[in-house]
Amino acid sequence: MNIDVLVAEIGSTTTVINAFSDIDSENPKFIGQGQAPTTVLEGDVRIGLNNAIDNLAKNLNVDKINYKEMLATSSAAGGLKMTVHGLVYDMTARAAKEAALGAGAIIHKVTAGRLKRTDINKIKKINPNIILIAGGVDYGERDTAIYNAEVIADMNLNIPVIYAGNIENREEINLIFEETNYKLYIVDNVYPKIDVLNIEPTRKVIQDAFEEHITHAPGMHYVRDIVNGPIIPTPGAVMECAKLLYEEIKDLMVIDVGGATTDIHSVTEGSEQINRILISPEPLAKRTVEGDLGVYVNMKNVVDLIGIEKIKNELDLDVERLMKNHKPIPKTQEEIKFVERLTKEAVIKAVERHAGKIRNLYGTGTKTSVAEGKDLTEIKYIIGTGGALTRLPNRVEIMKEIAKHNKSGTLLFPTKEAKILVDNDYIMASLGVLSKKYKKAALKLAKQSLKI
């Protein structure tokens, strides 16, 4: 069978292959899906990729798959581990962090100010894939970023370094890394002026640097033998799809509840009313990842958040037995009910942490309201992707719970008018990387999967 494009999602445990045809026509088609265990740990990712292609052929009831192109997203080989270093935490460091998260990174450390010995030791222990240095508005403070660059250069880590700080430092930064084994990328300042974020150029460069890194990672170094198109981090690919959809349907939020984490991606400018009282700027496209909210690996964390007794009373289940025999994919009615309750908690808690809030400041006989964080009140669509929110029977009802949990009125939550959509084909990450080359087709396929 001839296929135009295969997109591989290379996860830490499973590799999924999605097949697309008629990619250059007015009616692109999602043909089917195959999967197999990822084989990075065996030293050769190609084994898992080829097994997933064989599984796709079996699912399509054909002998062989022939394809023109293969693109990929990856969270294997530890995903994209980054450390981020700025000047002031709530300004340049936060802007750099937003850029890294939006690109799909797992951020292991954020520092503000000059790096200390303890910071250096932690960076060495983390052994990041990419380091991002920011600091100083354009033509502002220079010394901190220069100092941090010198310290990082002396660490001799042989990884990509991205500089996205004060424009005046560029020549100096070039000189610092000139005789080192680092690959240096210099990009526009993530925080060029007070209260101005400029994170998209840095996001793009992070994904470029990731592609170069991942093709040399252990077990992944043969990936170019089979993948002949772009490779980007899987969470970054979901964000690319969210931004693509925003161009068509405007303000939206994407929720991805996984076994280990819950990711929230929102693309919205928020309301004029809230923007007037925001105490610091927020990016148009924002991603947060909650490392303690997962329904398999981090199941116990979510159970503890709810409380075992509460789950027992709500669901009338033997929770201890279900926890002891917890599986990645629930099969029985009891297991499904249990995972649905975990998913509901993960969704609500993750959205609470992603959303901004209103705070009241009291002065001499006066009260002033200010807003901090992301305003989600203008969200028109809430989209569920990932295993839990595309496969559980009550996935739509779970997402409808979001609007019911702003009891205080201080959280900047989506309202009940927001429409619930499901990534029925579970292909948003694949479409994010597909949009790099086939934007029009990716948008049409996304709308087909969401049934809009």
443 sits in which H/E element: helix 439-450
Q: 3-class DSSP state for residue 125? A: helix
Asked whether residue 220 is domain-assigned, the answer is no
In whole angstroms, what is the distance from residue 246 CA to residue 268 CA? 8
Query: Do residue 182 and residue 320 come from a single domain?
Result: no
345 and 295, same structural domain? Answer: yes
Residues 358 and 295 in one domain: yes
Q: Is 226 among the domain residues?
A: no
* Same domain flag for 42 and 71: yes
pLDDT digits 0-9 by tens, 259-309: 888 999 999 999 999 999 998 889 999 999 998 999 988 999 999 999 999
Q: Mean pLDDT across the stretch 236-248?
A: 96
Cβ atoms of residues 93 and 87 within 8 Å: yes
Both 8 and 97 in one domain: the answer is no
349 in any annotated domain: yes
For 116-148, write each residue's pLDDT tens digit: 999 999 999 999 999 999 999 999 999 999 999
**Residue 336: alpha-carbon gap to chain centroid:** 26
Q: Which tokens in the block code for residue 368?
A: 């002033």
Residue 227 included in any domain: no
- Rounded to an integer, what distance in angstroms lies between the CA atom of residue 327 and that of residue 337? 13
Report the side by side order of strands in the sheet with 66-74: 29-37, 14-21, 2-10, 66-74, 231-233
Q: What residues pair up with 3 in beta bridges, in sequence order?
A: 67
**What's the pLDDT score for residue 408?**
67
Q: Do residues 208 and 303 share a domain? A: no
Average pLDDT over residues 23-44: 91
Residue 364 has pLDDT above 80, yes or no: no
Residue 37: give the domain boundaries.
2-76
For 135-225, where are the E strands, in sequence order? 160-163, 183-186
Q: How far apart are the first and last CA of the chain?
A: 29
pLDDT of residue 351: 95
- If you average pLDDT over residues 425-438, what whole number do you get? 95
Judged on CB neighbours under 10 Å (0-12, 13-18, 19+), 203 is buried
Contacts of 370 (CB under 8 A, 6+ apart): 277, 278, 279, 358, 359, 361
Q: What whole-number distance in Å separates Cα of residue 436 and Cα of residue 7?
A: 12
391 lies in some domain: yes
Domain count, the chain: 3
What pLDDT, in 10s, does the model give residues 367-424?
Answer: 888 889 999 999 999 999 998 999 999 999 999 999 888 766 678 899 999 999 999 9
Say which CATH number the domain at 268 has.
3.30.420
Residue 414 tokens read as 């989506």
Final residue of a structural domain among 47, 76, 105: 76
Average pLDDT of every residue of the chain: 92
Q: 309 is written with which tokens? A: 């007794």
Same domain, 314 and 290: yes
Among the ranges given (140-154, 170-184, 318-332, 423-437), the one the predictor scored with the smallest mean pLDDT: 318-332
Question: Is residue 71 within a helix (H) or strand (E), and if so which, with residue range?
Answer: strand 66-74
The enclosing domain of 27 has a CATH number of: 3.30.420.40
Other C-beta atoms within 10 Å of 159: how many? 18
- 301 and 341: one domain? yes
User: Residues 325-346: pLDDT tens digits?
Assistant: 888 888 899 999 999 999 999 9
Please, are residues 229 and 200 in contact by the beta-carbon 8 Å criterion?
Answer: no
100 pLDDT band, cuts 50/70/90, is very high
Q: Are residues 198 and 345 in the same domain?
A: no
* Residues contacting residue 233 through CB under 8 Å, at least 6 positions apart: 73, 74, 75, 79, 80, 103, 104, 105, 207, 210
Q: Position 411: which residue type?
A: L
Structural domain contains residue 356 = yes
pTM: 0.91
Query: Of 438 and 216, which is predicted with more confidence?
Result: 438
Whichever domain contains 191, its CATH number is 3.40.50.360
Of 355, 326, 356, 362, nearest to 342 (Cα)?
326
CB 349 within 8 A of CB 357: no
Does one domain contain both 308 and 431?
A: yes
Q: pLDDT band for 366, please (50, 70, 90 cuts).
A: confident
**Cα 68 from Cα 10, distance rounded (Å):** 19
Closest CA to 200 of 83, 87, 100: 100
Q: Where is the domain boundary, 76, 109, 131?
A: 76
